[in-house]
Each structure stands twice: as C-alpha cells, then as structure tokens.
Amino acid sequence: MPTRTAAAEREASKEAYNAYLATCPSRQVLATLADKWVVLVMHALEDEPQRYSQLSRHIAGVSQKMLTQTLRGLERDGLVVRTVEPTVPVTVTYELTGLGRSLVQVVSPLKRWAETHIEVIRHSQAEYDLRA
C-alpha cells in the first residue's frame, strides 16, 4: 500500500469531513447547533455553571423533557459537563467544557443577531404573507 504525504493526508481529511456530503458526520453537529434549545442553554451557561432549576427558570417555555434531552445531548457531545455533589438533596450543576466555551463564542452572537433583527424579519414575513 503506498504511503501518503502529509499534504495528501490533510486533503483526504478535508474530503472526509465535508458537510455537503450526505454521509459526513459533521451534519449531526450542524443539526445539533440548529436547535433553539441548544443555543439558549449554551448562552445561559456562558457566564457561570447553573443548576437544572436555574436553567429551567432562565429559559422560558422549555419543557422538562426538552431541557433534559438538550443537556444530555450537550454532555454526550462533550460541550457540557454535569457535576453531581453529594448533598441532601443531591445538587447537580451544568457547566460548559473548553469545547463548549469555544462554541458559545459562535452561538451567542447568533442569539443576539436574532434579537436584534426580529422586527425586520417579522415585517418581511408579514409582507410575504400578504402576497401569498
């Protein structure tokens, strides 16, 4: 079997992780990031670790099921760490990992962009709906 050069390895790696390809595993990451609860949970954890109840109060409208699923998914992906403290009752906190901190730098501006441009978007939607 011929040996590849370092440049050929890098090129093969780029091709292997091309999100435009249906088989690319990075599509799952993009699907995760497109979830509104992921964006909101990540942003809520940006400044400090929080308990489940704090997150639940902070993120209006999230169901217990969705918050639990979102936190488990983020933990599985290595973006959030769950710490259980042996108190009575047990205290569980959630905190961003280093990888999560690097991602929050991307998702926090997305949240702010949505808040900043919502009126323009709503206006465009209303105009579109009138034409449809």
C-alpha–C-alpha distance, residues 84 and 93, integer Å: 7
Average pLDDT for runs of 10 along the chain of length 132: 70 75 88 91 96 96 96 97 92 96 92 94 96 88
Q: 0.85 exceeded by the pTM?
A: no
C-alpha–C-alpha distance, residues 122 and 25, integer Å: 34
Neighbours of 49 (CB within 10 A): 14
User: Residue 9: its pLDDT value, please?
Assistant: 72
* Domain segments of the chain as ranges: 1-34, 35-131
CATH architecture for segment(s) 35-131: Orthogonal Bundle (1.10)
